[in-house]
Amino acid sequence: MKDIFYEKNKITTLRVIFLVLFLACCILTVVSCKPTTEFEIVSAEGYLNDYYEYSDESECTITAEFNESVDEGSITVTFYDEDGNISDKQTKDFTSWDVNDKTVEITFSNVKGRPASYEVTDFTVEPPPSLVSILISEFIVWLILFIITVSPFAMSCEIYDFNGNAITVYSGWFSCYVKVNGITVDKKSSILRNFFFGRIFPMHLSTTLPDGVFLLVKINFFNGIKMWLNGCVYNKKYIKQK
């Protein structure tokens, strides 16, 4: 005889796997949305790339390292000449293309004069997206993920004991069937029922047992299973032997 509890074990395994995967996705999303307390520039370096004497302008690159990973924002840099006087002050936005984890590299063009030194005087960093904004922007993805996660909980299986016979009634994603001692005696496809509003109509499965008893099974909208033997409701469940 085949494993009588195969269907029940299958449903339990799918429920555990899908639930663990869903919780893992939730945890990763929450962790990725963890806001930083305060952004700070840990270090900064500046380079003079070119000086254009004919226009008395320079091109400089500023590399700034933050204490946390950043995505986009802006940096304001003040440039000084050899006498310590302000020669120029520029603010430039940066995007994820300018970022390597915590490090931002920005090139400032048309800087007046030939700067001898610089100072990062201000910066702004966009806060990380909140959990609510992510859920809203990816609503369809999370809805599909949620439906997939709860789908094993919509599957059902009952095992009855009648005169020493194990009667298994299973309602799954793609099929519903009745087994007697591991042998399928009636089976119907449940694809249309599950995916095209067929649940509004109960599914009926039936067979005649070897001793002449007529077995009827009805699976309702919520995949609830009820069995009749010769017109009488039967509820005695099969108990796994040790």
Q: What is the CATH number of the domain that holds 63?
A: 2.60.40
What are 74-96's pLDDT values in tens digits?
A: 999 999 999 899 999 999 999 88
What integer pLDDT is reported at residue 97 of this predicted model?
Answer: 85
Is the pLDDT at 208 greater than 90? The verdict is yes
What does the pLDDT average to over 203-229? 91
CB neighbourhood size of 156 (10 A)? 19
Same domain, 176 and 214: yes
How many CA atoms lie less than 13 Å away from 23 in the CB half-sphere?
6
Map residue 33 onto helix, strand or coil: coil
Residue with tokens 């915590």: 102
CA angle 207, 213, 218 (to 5 degrees): 45
Report which residue type is found at 118: Y
Average pLDDT over residues 66-79: 89
Residues 220-230 have a mean pLDDT of 89
Residue 102: domain span: 43-125
The pTM for the full model equals: 0.60
Amino acid at 139: F
Is 242 within a domain? Answer: no
Q: How many domains does the chain have?
A: 2
Tokens of 23: 């919780």
**Contact at 8 Å (CB) between 10 and 17?**
no
Pairing of strands 203-208, 214-219: antiparallel
Split at pLDDT 50, 70, 90, the class of 223 is confident
238 vs 104: which has the higher pLDDT: 104
**If pLDDT is split at 50, 70 and 90, which confidence band does 3 have?**
confident
Residue at 142 is within a domain: no
pLDDT confidence of residue 143: 85
Per-residue pLDDT at 220: 87
| Burial class for 12, CB neighbours closer than 10 Å (0-12, 13-18, 19+) | middle
Same domain, 116 and 168: no
* pLDDT (0 to 100) of residue 199: 62
Are both 169 and 219 inside the same structural domain? yes
Backbone angles phi, psi at 183, to 5 degrees: -105, 125
Confidence bin at 211 (pLDDT 50/70/90): confident
Quick one: which of 190, 155, 224, 215 has its CA closest to 9?
A: 155
Q: What is the pLDDT of residue 234?
A: 94
Report if residue 100 sits inside a domain.
yes
Residue 72 domain flag: yes
Question: What is the domain-level CATH number for residue 168?
Answer: 2.40.128
In this structure, are residues 65 and 103 in contact, taking their beta carbons and an 8 Å threshold?
yes
The 10s digit of each residue's pLDDT in 188-207 is 988 776 665 556 778 899 99
